[in-house]
Amino acid sequence: MAKLVVMASKRQIFVRDVPIGGGAPVAVQTMCKTETANLEATMEQIRTVADAGADLVRVAVPRESDADALKTIVKQSPIPVIADIHFNHTLALKAIDAGADCIRLNPGNIGGREKVAEVAAKANKAGVPMRIGVNSGSLPKHLHELERENSVEALVQAAVEFVEMMESLDFENFKVSIKSTSVPNTIASNRLLSERIPYPIHLGITEAGTKWTGSLKSSVGLGTLLADGVGDTIRISLSTFHAEEEVKVGWEILKALQIREKGPVLIACPTCGRLQFDMDTVVAEIERRLESYEEPIEVAVLGCAVNGIGEASHADFGITGAKNEGLIFAHGKPLRKVPQDELVDTLFAEIDRSLDRGKVEVDESEAAQGAEWLARIEEESAGELTPERIAAMEAEAAEAENGDVTAEPFLKPVTKSPEGKSKQLDEGDSPTAGRRFTRA
């Protein structure tokens, strides 16, 4: 399986004990939605996001009372705390005194070089790193014309100017962020920025939206950059009071790209007209129960047994359902057949037992019954062209076209023209031709 090469930044910084950049694992962060000075609510949210897997948490510090509360928050927080400061450099100074593990500020909105210098000097002395950055909505005036001509170049230029300002202040303990509400601009500007600076880069899409749209925008934007090897820490911005949802989405992006491992991976077929049980409910229940597992097990859910275990054979565990019964399988081999309403409980009993004992235990006679059941269903539906079988046939045909395979592909969806060029699949020959239009 292809592995992504994570290039990351050349420089590394530490936010308390969490390394950022320089090849460290991409850190997942989120931001508390609570009023920071409300200690009880803030600490509860910090514990919740830490449990969900946040490596770092940011809190807003817009008032003196928030800076005061930081003292306790930093002491009690199980993960490093970043103080988010805008417009008021005095609060940044107080946050450093309060023990904040990192200060986030945009040098462009803090009141001029002198004030940035004051914060940088104090941060240097205290060994506190900073996140500096630019937002697309607040670029310095001298870049407005460039912004109109080339908004990406203007964003990158602003970030590079701030980097140079920090370097001229002898402060190099920072990471950089460029935030935009536009996914294409976020991708283009961060790609460019990563070529121009050696510092760690924080990725995020500003005001990404609700759980649904925000997760998608972030997955596309951050996923593209991370796949390029750009980005050392990420935050998914979602319009929800449940900050742990941001953490979960962040982890799913990293897991999908196989950049980091955390907990189980659930795979499930998309379902089709062959589905024989209430898979929506079953998948949701399995997903819910898997949340309490730390182990990186892969669990597959198939909507029918028509294809056998097929494409899910690499999964550690799985189920495939039929009308009244279903099959539990492990590593591509049947384990046991159970009544349908016991599928989920039995699946988790098998998972728990294997985790306890360090291996999957197979009852040979139950496994044989399961294999027989599966073989019967496969035989009964041997002529059915499922999405999985069509994909397998297409793969077989493609391999044959490459000339390595002498056997005739069953479907011949791709053939060679006399000139040797590929011809498109003939819709008239295709078993799926017109299906989507004719189905009642």
> Given the rule CB under 6 A, which of 132-140, 231-239, 373-381, 384-392 is the region that contacts ligand SF4?
384-392
Instruction: Name which position in 181, 340, 386, 430 contacts ligand SF4 (CB under 6 A).
Output: 386
CB contact set of 158 (below 8 Å; sequence gap of 6+): 108, 134, 139, 140, 143
238 binds ligand SF4 (CB under 6 A): no
315 binds ligand SF4 (CB under 6 A): no
Report the Cα–Cα distance between both ends of the chain, in Å, rounded.
40
Rounded alpha-carbon distances, angstroms, from residue 297 to 19, 227, 264, 293, 356: 26, 23, 5, 9, 14
381 binds ligand SF4 (CB under 6 A): no
Q: Mask of contacts with ligand SF4, 96-125, x by CB under 6 A?
A: ------------------------------
271 binds ligand SF4 (CB under 6 A): yes
Instruction: Name which position in 27, 69, 74, 269 contacts ligand SF4 (CB under 6 A).
Output: 269
How far apart are CB 343 and ligand SF4 at their closest, in Å?
Answer: 14
Angle of helix 113-126 relative to helix 151-168, nearest 10 degrees, comes to 60
387 binds ligand SF4 (CB under 6 A): yes
Instruction: Name which position in 238, 307, 337, 338 contacts ligand SF4 (CB under 6 A).
Output: 307
How far apart are CB 241 and ligand SF4 at their closest, in Å?
Answer: 36
275 binds ligand SF4 (CB under 6 A): yes
Rounded alpha-carbon distances, angstroms, from residue 285 to 289, 302, 326: 6, 14, 16
Instruction: Name which position in 302, 343, 344, 374 contacts ligand SF4 (CB under 6 A).
Output: 302
* 3-state secondary structure (DSSP) of residue 398: helix
Largest Cα separation within the chain, whole Å, is 79
Beta bridge partners, 174, equal 130
340 binds ligand SF4 (CB under 6 A): no
Distance CA 339, CA 351 (A): 18
63 binds ligand SF4 (CB under 6 A): no
Kindly tell me which of 71 and 274 has the beta carbon lying closer to ligand SF4. 274
Rounded alpha-carbon distances, angstroms, from residue 324 to 277, 340, 343: 8, 5, 10
How far apart are CB 62 and ligand SF4 at their closest, in Å?
Answer: 50
Instruction: Name which position in 147, 228, 388, 401 contacts ligand SF4 (CB under 6 A).
Output: 388
Amino acid in position 81: V
308 binds ligand SF4 (CB under 6 A): no
Alpha helix ranges (H) inside 169-304: 183-196, 211-227, 243-256, 279-290
How far apart are CB 339 and ligand SF4 at their closest, in Å?
Answer: 19
304 binds ligand SF4 (CB under 6 A): yes
> Given the rule CB under 6 A, which of 89-97, 103-111, 267-275, 323-331 is the region that contacts ligand SF4?
267-275
105 contacts 88 by C-beta, under 8 angstroms: no
Distance CA 192, CA 230 (A): 10
Give the binding site for ligand SF4 (CB under 6 A).
269-272, 274-275, 302-304, 306-307, 386-388
